[in-house]
Amino acid sequence: MTNSTQLKTVLTAERVCKSYGSKGSAQQVLKGIDLKVMEGEFVGIMGPSGSGKTTLLNMLATIDRVTEGNILLHDLEISKMKDAKLSKVRRSHLGFIFQDYNLLDTLTVKENILLPISLTNVSKHQAEEEYNEITGILDIKDLADKYPSEISGGQKQRTSAARALIHSPSIVFADEPTGALDSKAASNLLENLTDINHKRQVTIVMVTHDPAASSYCSRVVFLKDGRIFSELYRGEKKRESFFKEILDMQAVLGGGIQE
């Protein structure tokens, strides 16, 4: 990580509220969230079932719209942006890793990864360089010509991660990326994401219910009842120590951890 005095703010949420339903029977899920994500951070979002963690990720990632408040990507207020402009911002600045991979079965691994930049002005040479670097870190370079049906769940998720990173986004959003993986594949993916976070200073925001997954993060934000309840910073702690702190915080929060 770069020295904190040099870090820039990548993403800012200001008083973000989200309600569903009509005015008379609206359910308020987020109740005034203030959050800043700094360049190069690996931020985990956790909380009991119904705390609003997935809803918050959807707001930050522009998958859904806020009811009140503002979200800024660098200096761009993306929460009020019209759809056409927002689509351009997504293509240029945001990367997404989903639990169910979202790979196209008719494309090879390499074609899936290169898809986000296939319609951009990136040269073939530059695209190839990015592809080689990212797939090297994620250990999937030898899968280039295989199709999604021919690879394991862990390999699919690492392919999904490579696709999210290929266009050098400002921030990558990961929604329960280890949820469909066994423990070994989950550990491999999280170690890969940590390597990319450190080596390429990629900013990552990850929603997870798994304390083992969140122990790889540099900071964990805990939600409860639609508000930020607490935050933990890893600092120089070993992952095992941070894991215990996260478990202790979950005990304080109470309730189920699944959502």
Q: Is residue 86 part of a domain?
A: yes
Q: What is the mean pLDDT of residues 130-147?
A: 95
Which residue segment(s) compose the domain that 75 sits in?
A: 9-18+28-254
Q: Is residue 2 part of a domain?
A: no
Q: Are strands 203-207 and 171-175 parallel, antiparallel or unpaired?
A: parallel
Model pLDDT for residues 6-59, shown as the tens digit of each residue: 679 999 999 999 999 877 788 999 999 999 999 999 999 999 988 999 999 999
Give the integer Cα–Cα distance in Å for 128 and 132.
Answer: 6
Give the integer Cα–Cα distance in Å for 104 and 25.
Answer: 39
Mean confidence (pLDDT) of the chain = 92
Q: Is residue 259 part of a domain?
A: no
**Backbone torsions φ then ψ of 198, nearest 5 degrees:** -80, -50
Q: Is residue 213 part of a domain?
A: yes
pLDDT band at 254 (very low <50, low <70, confident <90, very high): confident
* Structural domains counted in the chain: 1
Cβ atoms of 226 and 45 closer than 8 Å: no
Q: What is the mean pLDDT of residues 237-249?
A: 96
Residue 258, pLDDT > 50, answer no
Cβ atoms of 99 and 176 closer than 8 Å: yes
- For position 4, what pLDDT does the model report? 45
Model pLDDT for residues 151-170, shown as the tens digit of each residue: 999 999 999 999 999 999 99
Q: What is the 3-state secondary structure (H, E, C) of the chain?
A: CCCHHHCCEEEEEEEEEEEECCHHHCEEEEEEEEEEEECCCEEEEECCCCCCHHHHHHHHCCCCCCCEEEEEECCEEHHHCCHHHHHHHHHHHEEEEECCCCCCCCCCHHHHHHHHHCCCCCCHHHHHHHHHHHHHHCCCHHHCCCCHHHCCHHHHHHHHHHHHHCCCCCEEEEECCCCCCCHHHHHHHHHHHHHHHHHCCCEEEEECCCHHHHCCCCEEEEEECCEEEEEEECCCCCHHHHHHHHHHHHHHHCCCCCC
pLDDT band at 226 (very low <50, low <70, confident <90, very high): very high
Q: Is residue 3 part of a domain?
A: no
Model pLDDT for residues 171-206, shown as the tens digit of each residue: 999 999 999 999 999 999 999 999 999 988 999 999
Q: Is residue 88 part of a domain?
A: yes
- For position 22, what pLDDT does the model report? 79
Model pLDDT for residues 72-109, shown as the tens digit of each residue: 999 899 998 999 999 999 988 999 998 889 999 999 99
- Give the CATH number for residue 104: 3.40.50.300
- For position 191, what pLDDT does the model report? 96
**Span between the terminal Cα atoms of the chain, in Å:** 31
Q: Is residue 47 part of a domain?
A: yes
Give the integer Cα–Cα distance in Å for 96 and 224.
Answer: 24
Q: Is residue 196 part of a domain?
A: yes
- For position 1, what pLDDT does the model report? 46
Q: What is the mean pLDDT of residues 53-69?
A: 95
Residue 113, pLDDT > 70, answer yes
Give the integer Cα–Cα distance in Å for 208 and 178.
Answer: 8
pTM of full prediction above 0.75: yes
- For position 3, what pLDDT does the model report? 46
- For position 259, what pLDDT does the model report? 42
